[in-house]
A and B are shown apart, each in its own frame.
Chain A
Amino acid sequence: MDLRLPSKVLEHILSFVDSNEDRNSVSLVCKSWFETERRTRKRVIVRNCYAVTPAAVARRFPEMKSLTLKGKPHFADYNLVPDGWGGYVWPWIEAMAAKCPSLEELRLKRMVVTDECLEKIAASFKDFKVLVLTSCEGFSTDGLAAIAVACRNLRELELRECIVEDIGGDWLSYFPETLTSLVSLDFSCLDSEVKLSDLERLLSRSPNLKSLKLNRAVSLDALGSLLRLAPQLVELGTGSFSDKLDQEAVAKLSQAFSELKELKSLSGLWDVLPEYIPLLYSVCPGLTSLNLSYATVQMSDLVELITRCSNLQKLWVMDLIEDKGLEVVASSCKELRELRVFPSGAGLDETNVAMTEQGLVYVSEACPNLESVLYFCVQFTNTAMVTIARNRPNLKCFRLCVMEPFAPDHKTQKPLDEGFKAIVERCKDLQRLSVSGLLTDKAFEYIGTHGKKLRMLSIAFAGDSDLMLHHLLSGCESLNKLEIRDCPFGDTALLENAAKLKTMRSLWMSSCCVSFGACKLLSQKMPKLNVEVIDEHPLETRPDSSPVERIYIYRTLAGPRLDMPEFVWTIHKNPEIGVSHLAIK
């Protein structure tokens, strides 16, 4: 009475199951389903590269075509993770080269990628198609040349905000004449100028090119000729937008823009001069995504553009837009789903004070589909947050950064507890939340009580005591990633809720008062967690009661990692080893 589905049938069924979450469930049903699923999974995502070994992943998914890896913790973006912490992709490439040579796509975030890695990719994966590096570092333009020259079927090469050692613009000329498969090219983070003629030739032989993001060194003049070669673009990142052009050149450029009938996304616009804004008018009605976060023009100029973008779904802009400009966004962009407002000044001193909480209130009132917000602002009020929550219970992501640490409600001088309470209470589907301003433990009690779908939470300069952490760890059922800096809680809540950490991907705490002793205890209690202490000072001689600088705790099947630098310590699991030797590198 074998009721098992023949594996061929199951394979066929599974070919329709795309979501990895579903596939994970499938693999838990029974051994044969596990086997069939693992042999047929094409797209593998490892959201913490240290949670599992490369060999294990390669072994489990031999037919892997696409691998996505994330390395450093999120707070590395803000320089809170010292250089050299880790996140090396080399072991993964080695393992895949040996076991999964048919790998075609590699997407990496916050990882260290060397030229050697890129060369290995070029040499090992014959049909390599997609390389997307986000916030990565460690390689030079020579590595790019290696990819360009060897990957005959390259489709996507995207460098998003990477730190690249820029030796020159030659790498682009290494794309062979036979390469005609390019769909997406993003070199916006590079500094050096590429040869215009190389770029032009590349565009001429890339009829499938849909996304092109140029770097700043590409002049406005050059842009015109490039656009004429690629009128089919759906996504465009311009270069510098500020050369002085003569009448004729301006007219030509305007014409080129009007030919971009498919354009949906526009970014770049560095140094854009106000007089060139009208050049963009023709593409505005078709845009669904507009990134003006590097356009240092004033509100009146920004508004000219935005009033014409009635189909906009995603808008990134600086606080130069001011409340008035956001009012215009509210009235013009009814389809808006995502709004990000970045600070224009380099420091707290220089923020644009003409943008307040009111701007966000306008947008929340008028844009019914708004679900994702990132808002940098000098100050905020509880009332505003309550209004926003009432207007937009459909918010999924709410990241408010009140730039002044501990800033209270600027009208009532009270903590912002009630405001965030309204947000978590009303927005039942809220998955991501960043809090700021003056907050007491109460705020976290509210978050723990109501934030049941919350998956990622970022906290800085908040709370009063251990209660704060206790509320979060005991209340937020879906909590997956928690990152905290500069908050005054200690060991108690952490140790009491240790079991919760097994259900989370990671916990980051820096400049809090968790003691060395607590780290040791936690590590002993929870063998499936890596408790990493990142501290510049040697731990062996420290008293157990001394607080540690940073802790990064994550669940893992791989045990303590072997590539830790001097300032990263992991606690030995063996309790027989004496206290003074607990920490190993």
Chain B
Amino acid sequence: MLSEEELQSNVSVASSPTSNCISKGGGLKVHNYFGLSDSSSVESSTLSGNVEDDKATISLKATELTLGLPGSQSPARETELDEKPFFPLLPTKDEIFSSSQKNIASGNKRGFSDTMYTEKNWMFPEAVATQSVVNKEVTQNIPKGQLGTLNNSSSPPAAKAQIVGWPPVRSYRKNTLATTCKNSDEVDGKPGSAALFVKVSMDGAPYLRKVDLRSYTNYGELSSALEKMFTTFTLGQCGSNGAAGKDMLSETKLKNLLNGKDYVLTYEDKDGDWMLVGDVPWEMFIDVCKKLKIMKGADAIGLAPRAMEKSKMRA
């Protein structure tokens, strides 16, 4: 068979130990790719043989060059699996080994076979004529029980977005929801700009939320909305006082905020600095605010002087 020669000359560098399509790691076991010839009478054992092969190749695995992204070898997880299953990708059109550099930039997760997209960022091991692999582990770098920090991590979301058709939501729904945000703004009489969702996290809360900054017209509205969301959020002071005034938070209110209150509302601006909410006019605030965080008053003390300074300078 043609393929046998191919397989023999191309020692597989990183192989899927679980598939009969290609030869196994160190011990070149050539299978007829139909899976039928010499193993036809014992096909069930071929299948169960996979499990043993898995274990046999584990020791070889350590010495193998793999195609994991640099830095993608996450610590072994405590599961029953000895072998982290490999996840094959498809070869590029010209069977060229395309560099993994493209995928590094896209974060922890490799693009899965995004065959619908014209750009083909596929990995292709030079040796294996048929398949390339990616370590599935790469995607399991999520620290245990820290979903909150996951969202705050710096891993860019671009990689996740590359998975075609995932999550399995109909494009009709996706498109409808995308325009839902726009529409609600147009109706409010604002110029048709997209909704401005920012994440709101709170120290000690098990989850984070998102709010659309454009759905509020002043700090008071924002504060009372957040108060509703985070029941232990105690910026209510601002909410009840600020309801009357539509202008920005005054210095006095800010002071009240900080004196003896359990929590303060802070935001991360475009420069990545954490600032106290309320020191700039509302319109400017929604322009620069990237994230919101409800911090314990104690933690926010470092911020206060700066914010006060800024507002003093403006006054």
Chain A interface residues (CB < 8 Å from chain B): 75, 77-80, 82, 135, 161, 163, 189, 216, 240, 242-244, 270-271, 273, 293-294, 296, 298, 300, 342-350, 352-354, 376, 378-379, 401, 403-408, 410-411, 413-415, 438, 440, 458, 460-461, 463-467, 470, 485-486, 488-493, 495-496, 510-513, 515, 517-518, 521, 536-537, 543-547, 549-550
Contact of B19 among A376, A490, A536 (CB under 8 A): A490
Chain B interface residues (CB < 8 Å from chain A): 2-3, 6-7, 16, 18-22, 33-36, 43, 46-48, 50-51, 54, 77-81, 83, 85-91, 93, 112-113, 115-116, 129-131, 136, 139-140, 142, 144-145, 147-148, 151, 157, 160-161, 163-174, 176-178, 180-181, 183-184, 187, 197, 207-210, 228-229
Contact of B160 among A347, A493, A546 (CB under 8 A): A347
Select from chain A the residue with minimum beta-carbon distance to B182: A271
Q: Determine if B47 and A470 form an interchain contact, defined as CB atoms under 8 angstroms apart.
A: yes
Q: A350-B210, A515-B33 given as contacts; is B187 within 8 A of A271 (CB)?
A: yes
Bound-state CA distance A491–B50 (Å) is 13
Kindly list chain B residues whose C-beta atoms are within 8 Å of the C-beta of A401: 167-168
Select from chain B the residue with minimum beta-carbon distance to A518: B34
Q: Determine if A546 and B166 form an interchain contact, defined as CB atoms under 8 angstroms apart.
A: no
Kindly list chain A residues whose C-beta atoms are within 8 Å of the C-beta of B19: 465-466, 488-490, 513
Q: Determine if B157 and A348 form an interchain contact, defined as CB atoms under 8 angstroms apart.
A: yes
Select from chain B the residue with minimum beta-carbon distance to A487: B87
Kindly list chain B residues whose C-beta atoms are within 8 Å of the C-beta of A379: 147
Q: Determine if B113 and A511 form an interchain contact, defined as CB atoms under 8 angstroms apart.
A: yes
Q: A296-B181, A489-B19, A511-B90 given as contacts; is B113 within 8 A of A78 (CB)?
A: no
Q: Determine if A294 and B33 form an interchain contact, defined as CB atoms under 8 angstroms apart.
A: no
Q: Determine if B50 and A466 form an interchain contact, defined as CB atoms under 8 angstroms apart.
A: yes
Bound-state CA distance A458–B34 (Å) is 26
Question: Which 4 residue pairs are nearest across A and B when measured between Cβ atoms?
Answer: A78-B165, A465-B18, A511-B113, A490-B19
A184 to chain B, nearest CB (A): 20
Contact of A491 among B20, B139, B142, B145 (CB under 8 A): B20
Contact of B180 among A270, A378, A489 (CB under 8 A): A270
Kindly list chain A residues whose C-beta atoms are within 8 Å of the C-beta of B229: 298
Bound-state CA distance A407–B157 (Å) is 16
Select from chain A the residue with minimum beta-carbon distance to B174: A346
Bound-state CA distance A403–B169 (Å) is 11
Bound-state CA distance A348–B112 (Å) is 15
Select from chain B the residue with minimum beta-carbon distance to A535: B115
Given A410-B145, A511-B115, A545-B129, 5 extra CB contacts under 8 A: A78-B169, A342-B169, A346-B177, A405-B139, A545-B6
Kindly list chain A residues whose C-beta atoms are within 8 Å of the C-beta of B174: 346
Q: Determine if B187 and A543 form an interchain contact, defined as CB atoms under 8 angstroms apart.
A: no
Kindly list chain B residues whose C-beta atoms are within 8 Å of the C-beta of A458: 168
Q: A161-B170, A346-B177, A543-B129 given as contacts; is B33 within 8 A of A518 (CB)?
A: yes
**Residue of B136, B139, B167, B197 with highest tally of chain A CB at under 10 A:** B167
Select from chain A the residue with minimum beta-carbon distance to B46: A492
Q: A293-B173, A378-B147 given as contacts; is B47 within 8 A of A495 (CB)?
A: no
Kindly list chain A residues whose C-beta atoms are within 8 Å of the C-beta of B139: 404-406
Q: Determine if A80 and B164 form an interchain contact, defined as CB atoms under 8 angstroms apart.
A: yes
Q: Determine if B147 and A353 form an interchain contact, defined as CB atoms under 8 angstroms apart.
A: yes
Q: A405-B166, A518-B33 given as contacts; is B129 within 8 A of A490 (CB)?
A: no
Contact of A490 among B20, B163, B171 (CB under 8 A): B20
B183 to chain A, nearest CB (A): 5
Kindly list chain B residues whose C-beta atoms are within 8 Å of the C-beta of A406: 136, 139-140
Kindly list chain A residues whose C-beta atoms are within 8 Å of the C-beta of B136: 406
Q: A294-B176, A413-B144, A491-B35 given as contacts; is B50 within 8 A of A270 (CB)?
A: no
A132 to chain B, nearest CB (A): 16
A281 to chain B, nearest CB (A): 20
Select from chain B the residue with minimum beta-carbon distance to A77: B170
Kindly list chain B residues whose C-beta atoms are within 8 Å of the C-beta of A491: 20-21, 33-35
Select from chain A the residue with minimum beta-carbon distance to B148: A353
Contact of A349 among B51, B91, B115, B157 (CB under 8 A): B157
Contact of B208 among A348, A353, A545 (CB under 8 A): A353
Select from chain A the residue with minimum beta-carbon distance to B85: A464
Q: Determine if B18 and A550 form an interchain contact, defined as CB atoms under 8 angstroms apart.
A: no
Q: Determine if B183 and A242 form an interchain contact, defined as CB atoms under 8 angstroms apart.
A: yes
Kindly list chain A residues whose C-beta atoms are within 8 Å of the C-beta of B6: 543, 545
Bound-state CA distance A521–B20 (Å) is 15
A12 to chain B, nearest CB (A): 44
| Sampled A-B contacts (24; CB under 8 Å) | A163-B172, A216-B183, A240-B183, A344-B177, A352-B209, A404-B142, A407-B142, A413-B79, A414-B79, A463-B85, A464-B18, A465-B50, A491-B20, A491-B21, A491-B33, A492-B20, A495-B35, A511-B89, A513-B16, A513-B88, A543-B6, A543-B130, A545-B33, A549-B115
Q: A413-B144, A511-B90 given as contacts; is B165 within 8 A of A485 (CB)?
A: yes
